Structure 1
Amino acid sequence: MTRHLSAALLAAAALALGGCATAVPPVEVTRFHAAAPAGWAPGTRYTVDTAPLGDAAAMVGATQPSMEWGSYRAAVERQLQLQGLVAAPDGASAPLKVRIGFDRIDRETGGGRSPVSVGVGGSTGGYRSGVGLGIGINLGGGPRKVQDLQLAVRIDDSASGRALWEGRALAAVPVKAPASQPGLAAAKLADALFKDFPGESGRTISVK
């Protein structure tokens, strides 16, 4: 009996450790949108701007999409399609244009850090670049390497260029954690960003 109980406890502990290894800390999410955004009807088509969004492109030193940006694009498109939007065929026009940016900044806990800048702007009363964000994580045991991850998305009216919806998601993840891998990080941030889409405009929430 004792042997079986010990084996069960060991199995439970292994599962718990596995969950901790892939867990992502809570994601800080803020959204802004127009009072009555046009084009949310299921089946509405969108295109993705292949130039990384705003200052996020400058921060990663890229003017063309990278492989990591591709992970974020795929994660964002999955969320858009869960909302009923449809990707337009290559070369076709669409009522909505989606712009995507991401960034990751390395830092050590217990030391100084660089502020995260979000390159999202527009007519929804949203963000401006150069905003310092105090995201921290207390790992204990002295300084450890952490990555501050951010995803920024803006949905524009293609005809006018007016921003209809924009949002950012931010999280701090240990550098060596599986959750810092681009695919896992992109999926987590995108899922948090589009939770209860379009979300309450102007409010910052924490998504676990």
Structure 2
Amino acid sequence: MNRLLACLVAVSAITAVSGCATDDMATGASVTRFHLGQPIARGPIAVEAADPRDTNGLEFAQISASVARELTRLGWTVVPNNASEQVAMVSLTQQARPAARRSGVTIGIGGGTASYGRHGGVGVGGGVEIPVGGAGPTLVVGSQLSVRIQRRSDATVAWEGRAQMEARGGSPLATRAGAADRLAAALFRDFPGESGRTIRVR
């Protein structure tokens, strides 16, 4: 009986670990917001890249569209770059790690992270490389969307937040566009949110 119980526990542990990446979205996105608790004026706002090198890229156009959709829903009027005093500075970063692997009753989880570059594949700790077309199912991709709403003239920040999640490589949520859509919706839910508190948004 004890031996059977031990076997069942071992199998359960293997299943739980190997399924972490597959069921990653069951826990939703981790969201943190910061603000001063004062009303935030709605009006014309531009959505711009925190890193100016990303401004004209197709990928940033997809990311900014996700943020612009949420800002419009909340009452802002999104305008072209440099056409407003209020600006939303946006960045999306991604890292990858090997997914949990199962071999017999041994559980091995790889480590290492890497950032996606603008051109070409990306290396991950342990020699794994993410190809240009995106990560495969052997990788788990972590994405973080950061947004800062500030005044253009003096860079005074009215609100800022970040949202994070993981998705199995090769899935729609592992792409930059897919991650941006999901994370923007999570980040701006119940805006402005409780300052300084990290919540889980499903």
TM category (shorter chain) comes to 0.5 to 0.7
Partner of 1:190: 184
Whole-angstrom CA distance in 1 between matches of 2:80 and 2:144: 28
Q: Match of 1:81, SS?
A: helix
Q: Which moved more, 1:80-89 or 1:166-175?
A: 80-89
Higher share in strand: 2
The Cα of 1:24 is off from its aligned counterpart by: 7.0
Cα RMSD between the aligned structures? 2.6
Partner of 2:160: 166
The 1:91–1:111 alpha-carbon spacing in structure 2 relative to 1, beyond 3 Å, is: closer
Q: What TM-score do the two structures reach when normalised by structure 1?
A: 0.64
Q: Which moved more, 1:28-37 or 1:175-184?
A: 175-184
2:96–2:114 contact (8 Å) kept in structure 1: no
The 1:24–1:187 alpha-carbon spacing in structure 2 relative to 1, beyond 3 Å, is: farther
Instruction: Give the 5 Å matches for 1:71-82.
Output: 71-82=62-73
Structure 2: which amino acid aligns with 1:158? R
2:94–2:114 contact (8 Å) kept in structure 1: no
Q: Match of 1:63, SS?
A: helix
The 1:162–1:113 alpha-carbon spacing in structure 2 relative to 1, beyond 3 Å, is: same
> Which among 53, 61, 67 is matched to residue 70 of structure 1?
61
The Cα of 1:71 is off from its aligned counterpart by: 1.3
Q: Match of 1:184, SS?
A: helix
Q: Which moved more, 1:26-35 or 1:154-163?
A: 154-163
Q: Is 2:75 the partner of 1:84?
A: yes
List alignment gaps of at least 5 residues for structure 2. 1-21, 100-108, 116-136
Q: Match of 2:146, SS?
A: strand
Identity of aligned residues (%): 33
Whole-angstrom CA distance in 1 between matches of 2:165 and 2:82: 35
2:150–2:159 contact (8 Å) kept in structure 1: yes
Q: What TM-score do the two structures reach when normalised by structure 2?
A: 0.65
Structure 1: which amino acid aligns with 2:30? E
The 1:160–1:38 alpha-carbon spacing in structure 2 relative to 1, beyond 3 Å, is: farther
Instruction: Give the 5 Å matches for 1:12-161.
Output: 26-40=28-42, 44-49=43-48, 52-53=49-50, 57=51, 63-65=53-55, 66-89=57-80, 92=83, 94-109=84-99, 110-114=109-113, 144-161=138-155
> After the TM superposition, which segments of 4 or more aligned residues of structure 1 sit over 4 Å from their partners?
none
> Which among 162, 176, 199 is matched to residue 193 of structure 2?
199
Q: Is 2:169 the partner of 1:175?
A: yes
List alignment gaps of at least 5 residues for structure 1. 1-19, 117-142
The 1:172–1:70 alpha-carbon spacing in structure 2 relative to 1, beyond 3 Å, is: same
